[in-house]
Amino acid sequence: MALPASGNAISFADLRTEYNTGSNTAISFADYRRGGSLVRTKASNNNGVNLSASVPTSGAVSLGDFHSQEKGFQKTFSSNATNQNVSTIFGDDYAVDYPKKIVVNSSITVSGDVGTDAIKYPSGAVGTLTIVNNGTISTIGAYAINNLSSTTVAVTNNGTVSGNTAEEFNSTFSGNGSAKIDFIGGQGGASGPDIYHSDYGGYGNFNCKLTRSGNTFTASWTYNELYYSNQGSGSIDCTSIFPLNGSGELDTTNTSEYVINQSVGGYYGGDIRDFGFGSKVINGQRHFWFASNIKPTNMTLGSTMSWSQPGWTSVALSTSNSRRSSLLVTLTGGNTNGSVTGV
């Protein structure tokens, strides 16, 4: 902690306690000049401040030069910031055995973009590491404080530290892209499962091509068999089962469920191609189902969770036949990671 302010007495014992942990080894006053091993200058790429900046680097040194001085480097956040790497903050001094302190002022938020740590301590840190948190440190899908170093980070004060696991579209669907999505169902007869997109195989496959273009999602196929006859290609807009935020990302705050039940092309020889598309949050994760059949069939979520052909049979919908893994990735996160105390 800082030495007494001007007007208060400072003793040689105070200097020893602050700068060389109370050692009784004889030390010259000159050893306390800034720039030596006890009172360090900061590296040119250190973006913090030197808490002993008033201590002379040469010439005479007096006890009065140490009023309100403190051993260490400090970075204070007085405005909101994102994605902070502590090694970048303190530059070459990150690997120097000298205290390093981060202060988050009241009403200030240090946050991380989705999937990015708010404050990250890479490996290689040396010296005591402290965060004085009077504000908020938060992120989604990563860690609010991620300590990958072997030195413990001590957090003080009563600010908020918040991070959690999240989910987002995978690399295919985070922008424009397409992928194979396998259908479930096909229970209505011999032609029931005979629908596919030629980009993903031929006869005997049961799938569609899901394409994202902007914020529109379309399921398409090139072969659709009804009563043993190919009815050709087609598509359905299934955008409404994908809740998006204003940035076009998956809206993880939306917990509603969505269902589309739609027929395409009318009857042919007693068959009709029905589709069901749905999404629902289960245990904090959004799941998706894509279903098809050649008889009137209905997808129901809620407590029923089925793709049902009345009077015949139904397929239970669950996380095991969800197509989530073809669409989303899980981003692991939490309040802290590594050795962090005070949270």
Rounded to an integer, the average pLDDT of 88-115 is: 97
Query: What does the pLDDT read at residue 23?
Result: 67
Cα dist from 136 to 109, 124, 139, 332, whole Å: 5, 26, 10, 20
Q: What percent of the chain has a predicted confidence (pLDDT) above 70?
A: 99
Cα dist from 277 to 99, 203, 293, whole Å: 56, 22, 12
Q: Where are the domains of the chain?
A: 12-166+333-341, 171-326
Please work out, in degrees rounded to the nearest 5, the angle formed at the alpha carbon of residue 292 by the alpha carbons of 291 and 295: 135
Q: How confident is the model at residue 227 (pLDDT cuts 50, 70, 90)?
A: very high
pTM to 2 decimal places: 0.79
Per-residue pLDDT for 120 more than 90?
yes
Digit-coded pLDDT (tens) for 161-178: 999 999 999 999 999 999
Rounded to an integer, the average pLDDT of 316-329 is: 98
Query: What does the pLDDT read at residue 26?
Result: 76
- What does the alpha-carbon distance between residue 272 and residue 110 come to, in Å, rounded to a whole number? 55
Digit-coded pLDDT (tens) for 260-284: 999 998 999 999 999 999 999 999 9
- What does the alpha-carbon distance between residue 125 and residue 122 come to, in Å, rounded to a whole number? 7
Mean pLDDT, the chain, whole residue set: 95
